[in-house]
A = this chain, B = another copy of it.
Amino acid sequence: MPAPAYARLFRAGTPAATPRFAGLPKYNFVGGHNDPTRIPVDALADAAAAALRREGSGLALYNMGQGPLGHDGLRDMVADKLRRHRGVDPCTRDDVLITSGSLQGLDLVNDLLLEAGDTVIIEELSYGGAISRVKKRGVTVVPVALDAEGMRMDSLADALDALKARGVTPKYIYTIPTIQNPTGSILPLDRRHRMLELARAHGVPVFEDECYADLIWAGSGTAPPALYALDPAQVIHIGSFSKTLAPALRAAYAVAPQEVLWRLVSLKTDGGTGAVEQMMVAEYFSKHFDSHVAALSGVLEEKLRTMVEAVEREFGAAAELFIPKGGIFLWIRLPDGVDVAKLVQPAARAGIQFNPGPEWACDPASAKSQLRLCFALPSKEEIREGVAAFARVCFEETGIPAQSANVRHGAG
């Protein structure tokens, strides 16, 4: 790609060109893709058509003439879901801002709160897109330790106290309490109360990301209420339909106190979020949310089981697994000697893509030997084959795992 003559005018620090798209890998374990067989194609076609026939003429107006918070029907649906599933009560359409994906929610909240030199608190392992966005703004990230139940409150208290001693008020505590990304934990109720207590005491808002909270295994029990439900004045809450319906839709939401919500609107200068997707999701999920999500969670749990079996078979004791309570990914820790960054290229040559741990860590070096595998997109067969292929690549590059599926490597 030759650069144009005016390339010297590009802003300093603008990122390099993305490599031209070369198609998807055979074994695709990255990102937030979902199961193509679980897209309710006919029902969505019916929903889109019905909604368009009923209210399509409203497309002639920005935001369908319904104002900048978004489609009334979708906001009703979100409010209903938050009341019934996340303990947010009362909750009405007036509390809900529809966003173009939860990434836009992240951007808007960051626009409202952050400038270079600021500090935020994030779980030590967290969503890569949240960490990278904050760092790109020149904001300092203070990590808080996780355990099997999510954010550790002693670590949060220590972090807040240490910052206070230095005269620093962090701009927010970013947390994924319900199906933590990437470890898949659910934060218990007592920790939720404690987090809010600390947030109030230090005057810091909690930024709650519940992208995966609707996808919980039947056996995982009921998740505690959202943090936003426990103290709406202290929390900015975002959620999405990317994981429960489809990521190629850009339909997500933010819920926050009125003053915050309408400030986010002032920062949302995009001419509105696409209305057809909003009306389609409203039409379909107003009727089918619970049944759709229950069926999808069942399929995902089966795929998780397939992946866990495959990883245990191929990696044996070399892999420490964080079994998630829901969601679409499995977090894995390999022995300290393994540098997963060095596996990216060889894996790609074998048709395998995965999320290297360092991109999901506040301190990248701390997750040098960790990685995330998404199990939602590939079939069970592809999961088995892909994990086996990945184990071969890993052995060839690092000598680990020494044995796969009862076959000792390097013995032949």
- Give me the interface of A with B, judged by CB distance under 8 Å: 1-12, 14-21, 23-24, 31-39, 41-42, 44-46, 48-50, 52-53, 56-69, 100-101, 103-104, 111-115, 129, 133, 169, 171-172, 200, 203-205, 233-234, 242, 245-251, 257-260, 262-263, 265-267, 269-277, 280, 376-377
Contact = CB atoms under 8 A, between A and B. Distances in A.
A18 B261 CA distance: 9
A276 B280 contact: yes
Contact of A103 (B61, B64, B270, B276): B270
A51 to B, nearest CB: 8
Copies of this chain in its oligomeric complex: 2
A269 B17 CA distance: 13
A114 B10 CA distance: 7
Contacts of A272: 101, 247-248, 250
Contacts of A204: 6, 9
A360 B294 CA distance: 51
Given A41-B53, A271-B101, A67 B21 contact: yes
B271 A274 contact: no
Given A4-B257, A20-B262, 11 more contacts: A1-B262, A16-B266, A21-B67, A24-B65, A34-B60, A44-B276, A62-B247, A100-B250, A101-B270, A250-B273, A273-B274
Contacts of A276: 44, 48, 248-249, 274, 276-277, 280
Contacts of A60: 33-36, 38-39, 246-248, 376-377
A62 B45 contact: no
Contacts of A274: 100, 248-251, 273-274, 276-277
A62 B32 contact: yes
Given A49-B49, A280-B276, A250 B270 contact: yes
A194 to B, nearest CB: 18
A133 B46 CA distance: 39
A376 B62 CA distance: 13
Contact of A17 (B65, B233, B248, B266): B266
B56 A44 contact: yes
Contacts of A11: 111-115
A14 B109 CA distance: 11
Nearest to A51: B45
Contact of A270 (B7, B104, B259): B104
A301 to B, nearest CB: 17
Contacts of A263: 10, 14-18
A135 to B, nearest CB: 13
A277 B275 CA distance: 8
A112 B10 contact: yes
A65 B248 CA distance: 9
Nearest to A5: B203
Given A20-B262, A41-B53, A260-B4, A267 B14 contact: yes
A9 B250 CA distance: 29
Contacts of A101: 270-272
A163 B61 CA distance: 41
